[in-house]
Amino acid sequence: MMELSADQFDKLAQQIYQRLGLHFEEKKTYFLQKRVERRMEALGLVDPQEYVFRLCYADPNGAEMQALANLITTNETYMFREYEQLEAFANCCLPEVLSAKQARGEQKLRIWSAGCSSGEEAYTLAMILQEVFPQSQYWDCEIVATDIDENMLAHAVRARYWWRSVRDVPADYLEKYLVQDGESYIVREKTAALVRFEHLNLHDRMAMRAMRNFDFVFCRNVLIYFDDRSRKAAVDHFYNSLNRGGYIFLGHSESVGRISSAFTLKRFEGHLVYAKE
C-alpha cells in the first residue's frame, strides 16, 4: 500500500490550493491519501512521487486536477451545510451590515445564493435571517437564488426536501421553519417567500452584470468545478455585484484570496471572511 510522505502531502495540498483554492489541513492526510490512491490506480501509477509530478507539472489542460477535484469535493447539498461559516454570517457579518444600514436609514437587504442547486442554502439563509433579525418582516429583504439547471430550480421552488437535506437543521429551526409532511419536510411559506429563484448562467457576463446591489454573495462549493479563467471572471462579477461593506462566502475550504485580491480579509471571532471595502 502506498503512503504519501509529509512533503508529498504538502506539495499536493499546495497545488490543490493554488489551482482550486481549496485548503487541505494536515489532519486530512488520510482523506487525501485515499483519493490519491484511487487516482493512481486509475492511472496505473505506483509511486506517489509520480502522481505529484503529474498533477503539478504534467497536467497542462487541468484534466487530472479535475479528476482529483471530483473525488475530494462533495456534490451533496443539504441545509446548514458548513455550519461554522454560517455562524460567522449570522453572528458577525449580518449584524454588522444590518446596523450599518440602520444607521444610514436603509431598510433593504439583498443576498445572492449563486449556484443554488436545489435551494437548500437559500432556505437556510432565509431561516437564519428570520431568526437573527426578526424585524426582517418589516424590511425589504430578498434572497435571490440562481442556478443554471432549470430542473434543480423547479425542485427548489417546491421547497420540499427529504430527511437527508434537513438532517443538520437545528431542532428548534426544524420546528419553526419547516413542517413535516409524511417522509418529507416543507419550508414554511413565510420563510420560502423570502427566496426568489432565477435562472442564471455564471458564465454569462451580461446576465452577471445585471446582478447588482447585493449585501452578501454565497457561492459555496460551486467554483471548484470551473477552470481558472472562469473562476476568476465569476469572482470579479461577484465583486461588482456587492455593495461596499458587503461580504462574499465561498465554500469553507475555498479561498477567495487565492482567486482575487480585490477583497479584504477580515477576522471575526476566529472566522475569516472576505469583504468588499
Partner 1 sequence: MTELQECVQKLETGDEPDRIYAAEDIGFANLAAGISPLLARLPVEPSRAVKEAIFAALLQIDDDAVIEGALGLLDSEDSYLRNQAVELLRALGSKTVPYLDRAFRAGPPDRRKFVIDVIARLAEPASVGLYRRALEDPDLNVVITAVENIGNARHVQFREQVERMVTAEAHPMLLGACIEALAQIGDSTSLEAVGKSFGGVEGVPGYLRPSYLKLVGAKGSPAQLPEIAFFSAIRALDAAVLNALTSLRNRYPEMTIPPALAGPLRHMACRNPPQLAYQAVRLLGALISDSEVYDFLLSRLDDPDKVIRIGAIQAMREAGGEGAEAVLRRRLSSETDPEILQAWGGKNPQ
Is 56 an interacting residue with respect to partner 1 (CB under 8 A)?
Answer: yes
Q: Which stretch binds partner 1 (CB under 8 A): 81-89, 179-187, 191-199, 227-235?
A: 227-235
2 near partner 1 (CB under 8 A) = yes
Task: Decide if residue 209 touches partner 1 (CB under 8 A).
Answer: yes
Q: Do residues 69 and 225 touch, judged by C-beta distance below 8 A?
A: yes
* Burial classification of residue 225, based on how many CB atoms lie within 10 Å of its CB (0-12 exposed, 13-18 middle, 19 or more buried): middle
Residue 47 contacts partner 1 per CB under 8 A:
yes
Alpha helices in the chain (DSSP H): 6-20, 29-43, 48-57, 63-72, 83-88, 94-104, 120-132, 150-158, 163-166, 171-177, 189-192, 205-209, 228-241, 256-259
Query: How many binding residues for partner 1 (CB under 8 A)?
Result: 35
Residue 223 has a CB neighbour count (10 Å cut-off) of 25
Binding mask 232-271 for partner 1 (x = CB under 8 A): xx--x--xx-------------------xxx---------
Which lies closer to partner 1 via its Cβ, residue 31 or residue 162?
31
Minimum distance from residue 114 beta carbon to partner 1 (Å): 17
Side chain identity at 113, as an amino acid letter?
S
The one-letter amino acid code at 5 reads S
- For position 6 contacting partner 1 by CB under 8 A, the verdict is yes
**What sign results for the dihedral spanned by CA atoms 65, 8, 37, 222?**
negative
DSSP state, residue 254? B
Where does this chain touch partner 1 (CB under 8 A) — which range of 21-29, 116-124, 196-204, 246-254?
21-29
Q: Does 41 bind partner 1 (CB under 8 A)?
A: no
Which residues bind to partner 1, rule: CB under 8 A?
1-9, 26-27, 29-31, 34, 46-49, 53, 56-57, 60, 71, 205, 209, 229, 232-233, 236, 239-240, 260-262
